[in-house]
Amino acid sequence: MDHELLDAAIIGGGPAGLSAALVLGRARKRVAVIDEGRPRNAVTRETHGFLTRDGVSPGEFRRLAKEQLEAYPSVTFVADAVVSVAGEDGRFQVATAQGATVVSRKLLFAVGMKDRPLDIPGLADVYGKSAFVCPYCDGWELRDESLVVINRGHELMHFAPLISGWTKRFAVCANGPDELTDAQREELRRHGVPVHESPIRSIDSSDGIVRQVVLEDGTAIPCRGIFFKPELTTGSDLPRAIGCEVTEAGTVVVDGFGKTTVPGVYSAGDAASRMHQAIAAASAGSMAAAAMNNELNLEAWSRNG
Ligand SMILES: Cc1cc2nc3c(=O)[nH]c(=O)nc-3n(C[C@H](O)[C@H](O)[C@H](O)COP(=O)(O)OP(=O)(O)OC[C@H]3O[C@@H](n4cnc5c(N)ncnc54)[C@H](O)[C@@H]3O)c2cc1C
């Protein structure tokens, strides 16, 4: 069966993929956005820090984006999971779980990242409601509150000064050995930051709002919020499957315009960055789309000349 050759298949319909679709749609390119609709931030109620959209829910953000994309008829949406990608620059085949096939000249992976399962009892109940990962996203709402920071080692020594910009009232739970040097422990002590190494027994909460963190040694730490370091994994194995270089952290290796190590294949947003913010993802999607559009125009120019 013959399929229409589109200009681009965008896999992932979060801020990165939708922003790329807007740029490509306005550039009159035929684009399919294929999205299974399972973003990492689905647990949260509000997205902050996106100029003009501060505080909207992730679902409302996507709804508004799709509404505005309706103005561009060359952009279509497929609500499905991509299960395989094959082919090469100029002709990629994208297959979905429900049996659809999309054929396109270029590919953009905007597949985000995923959390590994949360193994601390009670953390899943509060994640996105009073337990967060990024103070730029959710620090303002918890300013001056009593917090528990779940972290250890050199990451903790980066995070402690950072979170102190929002509140000075926080205790650290390393949930095991703190992996600190004596000098680092002394530094935290000077700043009045208690460090607990006893494993976390439970996080007590009601309606998603944490009340206290209870440790195996019986210590109960009352608090109003938690910041923790998530364990992340790549949002999809497809970039690796088609040959893209991927870092140990699971992000796709790209240049400044989202170009991967495979010709014709781009990646943008959380999937290709350590900076996980909606506005940064949208910006990267926009940059990648402009680079894809440039390649597409140059190719059409030489085909037709
Ligand atoms: C709890 C939490 C709170 C956050 N709060 C904020 C905040 O307040 N402000 C802020 O700026 N940022 C916040 N972030 C970060 C922000 O959500 C991300 O940086 C942003 O969503 C990344 O956009 P993206 O388009 O790269 O990926 P995503 O938004 O994750 O979208 C990726 C999409 O690709 C889809 N996908 C993956 N694989 C496939 C496949 N094989 N086939 C089809 N579709 C696929 C996924 O289902 C998903 O819909 C938060 C994150 C979390 C986890």
Q: Does one domain contain both 205 and 137?
A: yes
Q: Does one domain contain both 75 and 23?
A: yes
The atom of ligand 1 lying closest to the CA of 276 is 19
Q: Does one domain contain both 195 and 139?
A: yes
The atom of ligand 1 lying closest to the CA of 236 is 38
Residue 145: predicted pLDDT: 98
Q: How far apart are CA 138 and CA 278, in angstroms?
A: 13
Mean pLDDT of 195-224: 98
Residue type, 76: T
Q: Does one domain contain both 190 and 42?
A: no
Residue 1 has pLDDT above 70, yes or no: no
Q: How far apart are CA 81 and CA 11, in angstroms?
A: 9
Q: How far apart are CA 152 and CA 175, in angstroms?
A: 8
Neighbours of 5 (CB within 10 A): 13
The residue nearest atom 33 of ligand 1, judged by CA position, is 12
Q: Does one domain contain both 202 and 246?
A: no
Residue 171: predicted pLDDT: 98
The atom of ligand 1 lying closest to the CA of 50 is 11
Residue 3: predicted pLDDT: 86
Q: Does one domain contain both 136 and 168?
A: yes
The CATH code of the domain that includes 27 is 3.50.50.60
pLDDT (tens digit per residue) in 234-284: 999 999 999 999 999 999 999 999 999 999 999 999 999 999 999 999 999
Residue 2: predicted pLDDT: 77
pLDDT (tens digit per residue) in 168-208: 999 999 999 999 999 999 999 999 999 999 999 999 999 99
Distance 267 CA to ligand 1 centre (A): 14
Task: Give the range of the structural domain holding residue 166, as residue numbers without chain letter.
Answer: 123-228
pLDDT (tens digit per residue) in 125-169: 999 999 999 999 999 999 999 999 999 999 999 999 999 999 999
Residue 188: both structure tokens together: 């935290």
Name the residue among 236, 229, 237 with its Cα closest to residue 276: 229
Residue type, 17: G
Q: How far apart are CA 186 and CA 215, in angstroms?
A: 22
The residue nearest atom 31 of ligand 1, judged by CA position, is 14
Q: Does one domain contain both 199 and 292?
A: no
Q: Does one domain contain both 252 and 223?
A: no
Boundary residue ending a domain (228, 256, 282): 228
Residue 97: predicted pLDDT: 98
Distance 43 CA to ligand 1 centre (A): 11
Q: Does one domain contain both 99 and 135?
A: no
pLDDT (tens digit per residue) in 46-81: 999 999 999 999 999 999 999 999 999 999 999 999
Rounded alpha-carbon distances, angstroms, from residue 38 to 5, 34, 42, 43, 236: 27, 12, 7, 10, 11
pLDDT (tens digit per residue) in 85-103: 999 999 999 999 999 999 9
Q: Does one domain contain both 193 and 260?
A: no
The residue nearest atom 48 of ligand 1, judged by CA position, is 39
Boundary residue ending a domain (209, 228, 247): 228
- Alpha-helical runs (H) found in 167-267: 182-190, 238-241
Q: Does one domain contain both 145 and 161?
A: yes
Q: Does one domain contain both 161 and 285?
A: no
Residue type, 234: T
Distance 12 CA to ligand 1 centre (A): 9
Ligand 1 residue neighbourhood (C-beta within 6 Å): 11-17, 34-41, 43-44, 47-50, 81-82, 110-112, 128, 132-133, 137-138, 235-236, 238, 269-271, 276-279, 281
Boundary residue ending a domain (188, 210, 228): 228
The residue nearest atom 37 of ligand 1, judged by CA position, is 111
> How many folded domains does the chain comprise?
2
Please state the pTM of the whole predicted model. Answer: 0.96
